[in-house]
Structure 1
Amino acid sequence: MALKSEHREPVGIVVHDHGNGPEPCFRGDYAEKAAHDCSRGRGHGWGRGWTQWPVRVLLGALTLSVVVASGAAGIERYLSRKYMSPQAPLTQASITSADKAGWMSQGRELPDYAPPVVLTFHDVNKNSKSPYVLTPKAFDAQLTALEKAGYRTLSAKQFTNYMNGGPVPRRSVLLTFDDGTDGLWKYADRILAKHRMHGTIFLITGSMDKHRPYYLTWREIERMHRSGRWDFQSHTRAMHSVKPVDATGNTGAPLVNRLWLKDEGRRENAAEYRARVLHDLVGSVDDIVRHGMPTPSMFAVPFSDGPGQQDADSTDSQARHLLKELFPLVMTDHSSVPLTPSRRSASTGLVQRVEVYARTTPDRMLEDVGRNVQVPARAHRPLFEPENWGGRQTTRTSFDVFLGKAPSTAQTPLYAKADYRPNSSVDWTDYSATALLGSLGNGTNQAALGVRTNSKEPMTVVITRNRATLLANGYKVASQPLDPKSEHTVTVRVGRDTTTAYVDGQVKLSHVSNRPSDQLSGGITIRSGINKAGDQWPVFRSLDIAPLEDASRRG
């Protein structure tokens, strides 16, 4: 069977699909069209010819950017979920109109302009049994009380400006928070924003991003910093703990103790202690700066309200010297000499704070703050303000012992002491105090009026029935006999460096200190003593405190 011959198109004709189905084309026309397409960049189709590689690279780059953006967004979502806790809804305390009126009343008794008071908080959280943790409602109530009493809050920069010699601010507080707990982001931040207040957090920088969800993360910290509501200072990098300090296993805070080197069977020497502590402190500063925040100017002593921490407050301790190398201001909740913010504490670089606990009511907090506000050296009837007398040594009796109202029994102590507004008189100078002392008996009892209380050189005038003695820091510097009688009037004038006492307007005792005047400011102390149980206690019949006349003119 003969094969059927294959049908072929004429040589000059081709079949080509131009987009409308197959159709014959003359080869000459096709060649011309193809050349025309190539000249327009199409070749035999889109992306072919000499432009195909730039187009493919562009498309690839676009695809890659979409993939990268999608991946980056995914990573960001993952990191946000891991390092950004969701903030809780704003919590509001139930506050009555009577509460608000009471808080406003407490504020009216204080000066409008005075050095700020520093408050210590630790954490704000729900369902905690810790005595240091406030609930969100309690924290809201605390801030409301401060607001109604007329307090404003300061930033770290504003506070250090005053401590560096700047003007006295309006009635204010510095809110500080130790450790850097996540509750400050989750709960406290929105409450702070509600009251338009400012907070300062002392971070244990080595714990951030760790031990979740207890501590803050650096992402949360950076967000808080950008809000303008928060400042961040140092609480060490990794010294908020206790470590062995001897071979028997006793422990102590690493900041103020030389640690036990177990492998070497000895304690650190001075050089090793210094190197370790400085490495930690410098590291904490670097951590904060590396995350875009200003260099810390303040430091809070770890465990500053616990036993054995007084060494960090001591002016001659190695820890104190190391802290002064890096931080102009050191905060503590416990100090042998409580110096709240003042010109005096600015000169030492050490500031005592007022701690707020879970049990602290708003009223109690305002009372504590009020007792630490610096007030003028003026009080006409301080003996009728028993609530303002602190530093008492009146075991088993009350303030009435100074007024001759306390019964004398075999259990009554032989000595009593009280300081007038000890935390509020830190800056007192150029003032006078006059006391009328009675019931001095036959010389078996004595009364004393002290000035410059809590200064580096407190002064005391001791009065018996027949003698006056002036003590400087407990040492006798002058003494004069008196006309024997049961009642004497004592006036003490306190200048910058000179203390002068007059007894009954005639006998004069004086002392000039060689210490710097910024170490000599301080307030008033009264003392009473008897030689044996059953003796008559001396009586403070009156006491008056007033500025010196020349100080008033300078005022």
Structure 2
Amino acid sequence: MEHAGGVRSGLLGTLAMCIAGLAACGHAGDRATDTQAARTPVPAPRVTLSADDRELWVRGPPNHSAVPALVYRSVAPEDFARQMVLLDHAGYETITLETFVRFVKREDVSLPPRPLLLTFDGGRRDSWTRTDAILRELSFNAVLFIDVGRVEQGDPDYLTWEELSRLQTSNRWNVQLQSGTGHRQIQYGPSPDDVGPFYAYRGSEEVLGGWRERVFSDITYGEEQLAGHVQGYRPLAFAPPYGNYGQAGTNDRHIPRQLLDRLLVSFQVVFTQDRSGFASPGSANPLGRIEITRDVTEAELHTLLTPAA
């Protein structure tokens, strides 16, 4: 009897282990499903425009004198979808980065009645998952400037190389460079507050030649990573982190000119946020963008776009 009891006890223990294992597998499966869902574009939110919306965002006349460029970073799906639907109702149509560059270079190019360039900075995963469905629905396209270092490190909040390659070949997204590993601050003085953008400042013990070697090699690294990982990548534009290549703050007056000259060797357009967000034929680099944060209301967005109306 003791032997039979031991067998029963062993069987019960084995059964308990199996059940626990199945539960663990179930939780692992749930986590995998959650992760996959987090990396999948959310459905486009349903947007209904009121009579007041339609009146304010009435379709404007054609305008080819200047093209506004918008830049987003982090977006709420509902707010972004509403803004895109309002832009569509007003007659705006996105143009590709290639078309934008040709327009600025005074080349012969076909434009929609009210052209618009749409951009995102950083390469965060939610820049894609929270926007792709509404862009597809409206036949809009966008440019995505990438923090290569975060992608290469496998940061889960950022897109992967495989995802970026899919975006590039979708013809809805154009992947461009924002930084190699330079989307961060560096120490340039003895005080804890003496920090500035990696590209725009010399380090504490750094001479100009050392700055040049550090920054130029980081940009080259970013270019090489995009060329090696993103199918169809073509360098056209660069958007420095913090919108600063030295013109908005530096500790060496030589940096802005030298860095801009280096960037224009590889890229035809350099974007910042401290200039007009409207580009005209013949506009000189750097070009500006209109920054759309979560705090920008729909009425404010309309006002920001008014000069192009």
TM-score bracket, shorter-length normalisation? 0.7 to 0.9
Matched, 1:98 2:98: no
Q: Moved runs in structure 1, 4+ residues, more than 6 A?
A: 79-84, 305-308, 312-315
DSSP-derived class of the 2:263 partner: helix
Q: 1:103 to 1:92 in 2, by over 3 A?
A: farther
Q: Does structure 1 retain, via aligned residues, the 8 Å contact 2:141–2:173? A: yes
**Which deviations, in whole Å up to 9, do the C-alpha atoms of 1:392-423 show, x marking residues without a partner?**
xxxxxxxxxxxxxxxxxxxxxxxxxxxxxxxx
CA distance in 2 between counterparts of 1:195 and 1:138 reads: 15
Deviation at 1:211, TM superposition (A): 5.6
Corresponding residue number in structure 1 for 2:10: none
Given that 2:69 and 2:277 are in contact with CA atoms closer than 8 Å, whether structure 1 keeps it comes out as no
2:49 alignment partner AA = T
Match of 1:357 in 2: 293
Work out the percentage of aligned pairs sharing the same amino acid.
Answer: 23
CA distance in 2, matches of 1:204, 1:117: 24
Q: Post-superposition shift, 1:318?
A: 2.4
> 2:82 matched to which residue of 1?
141
Task: Return the alpha-carbon distance in structure 1 between the equivalents of residues 171 and 37 of structure 2.
Answer: 18
**Partner of residue 122, structure 1:** 73
SS at match of 1:243: strand
- Does the CA-based 8 Å contact 1:203-1:235 persist in structure 2? yes
Contact 1:236–1:280 (CA under 8 A) maintained in structure 2: yes
CA distance in structure 1 between the aligned counterparts of 2:247 and 2:102, rounded to whole angstroms = 31
Q: Measure, in 1, the Cα distance between the counterparts of 2:94 and 2:39.
A: 26
What residue number does 2:95 align with?
154
For 1:163 and 1:315, how far apart are their aligned partners in 2?
25
Q: Tell me, yes or no, if structure 1 residue 255 matches structure 2 residue 232.
A: no
Q: In the alignment, residue 304 of structure 1 is paired with which amino acid?
A: G
Report deviation, 1:86.
3.6
Structure 2 partner of 1:273: 211
CA distance in 1 between counterparts of 2:278 and 2:91 reads 19
Q: Which of 277, 288, 300 is the equivalent residue of 2:226?
A: 288
Query: Residue 228 of structure 2 aligns to which amino acid in structure 1?
Result: R
Match of 1:31 in 2: none
- The one-letter code matched in structure 2 to 1:122 is R
Q: Secondary structure of the equivalent of 2:209?
A: helix
| Alpha-carbon separation, structure 2, partners of 1:224 and 1:80 | 22
- Matched ranges for 1:391-540 at <5 A: none
Question: Is the alpha carbon distance of 1:181 and 1:339 closer, same or farther for their aligned partners in structure 2, counting shifts above 3 Å?
Answer: closer
Is 1:207–1:215's contact at 8 Å kept on the other side of the alignment?
A: yes
* 2:140 matched residue in structure 1: 197
In structure 2, what is the equivalent of residue 435 of structure 1? Answer: none
Aligned match of 2:127: 184
Look up the equivalent residue of 1:115 and give its one-letter code.
Answer: A
Alpha-carbon deviation of 1:221? 1.0
Q: Distance in 1 between matches of 2:243 and 2:130?
A: 25
Looking at structure 2, the residues matched to 274 and 258 of structure 1 have their Cα atoms a distance apart, in angstroms, of 9
- 2-side partners of 1:339 and 1:315: how far apart? 24
Structure 1 position 210, deviation (Å): 3.5
Quickly say closer, same or farther: Cα 1:99–1:229, change in 2 above 3 A.
farther
Q: Secondary structure at 2:219's aligned position in 1?
A: helix
Query: Larger radius of gyration, structure 1 or 2?
Result: 1
Indicate if the aligned counterparts of 2:246 and 2:256 stay in contact, CA closer than 8 A.
no
- d(CA) in 1 for partners of 2:259, 2:78: 38
The SS at the match of 1:343 is coil
* Maintained 8 Å contact 1:313/1:320: no
- Counterparts of residues 173-252 of structure 1 (less than 5 Å): 173-210=116-153, 212-249=155-192, 250-252=194-196
Distance 1:236 1:256, change over 3 A: same
Matched-pair contact (CA < 8 Å) for 1:313–1:350: no
1:192 deviates by: 1.1
1:165 and 2:106 are equivalent in the alignment: yes
Residue type of the alignment partner of 1:259: G
Q: 1:244 to 1:142 in 2, by over 3 A?
A: same
Structure 2 distance, partners of 1:304, 1:136, is 24
State the match for 2:28 in structure 1. Answer: none
Which TM-score applies when normalising by structure 2?
0.79
Choose between structure 1 and 2: higher helix proportion. Answer: 2
Q: Given the two structures, how large is their TM-score scaled by the length of structure 1?
A: 0.45
1:343 Cα shift?
2.6
Show CA shifts across 1:5-63 (max 9, x none): xxxxxxxxxxxxxxxxxxxxxxxxxxxxxxxxxxxxxxxxxxxxxxxxxxxxxxxxxxx
AA of the residue aligned to 2:294:
A
Q: Which residue does the alignment assign to 2:13?
A: none
Secondary structure in 2 matching 1:247: coil
1:366 aligns with 2:299: no
2:12 is matched with none
**Which SS does the other structure have where 1:303 is aligned?**
helix
Contact map agreement 2:100 2:117 (CA 8 A) in 1: yes
Which residue identity lines up with residue 102 of structure 2 in the other structure?
N
Output one character per residue of 1:163-185: Cα deviation in whole Å (capped at 9) or x when no partner.
22224623111100000001023
Alpha-carbon RMSD = 2.9
Equivalent residues of 1:100, 1:148 under 8 A apart? no
Structure 1 unaligned blocks of 5 or more: 1-78, 124-133, 261-265, 376-555
Contact 1:83-1:217 at 8 Å conserved across structures: no
> Separation in 2 of the partners of 1:339 and 1:293?
28
In structure 2, relative to structure 1, the CA distance for the partners of 1:186 and 1:274 (3 Å cut) is same
Q: In structure 2, which of residues 260, 263, 271 is the aligned counterpart of residue 320 of structure 1?
A: 260
Higher relative contact order (CA 8 A, sep 6+): 2
Q: How many residues align?
A: 273
Does the 8 Å CA contact 1:151/1:173 hold for their aligned counterparts? yes
Check whether the contact 1:121–1:357 (CA below 8 A) recurs between aligned residues: yes
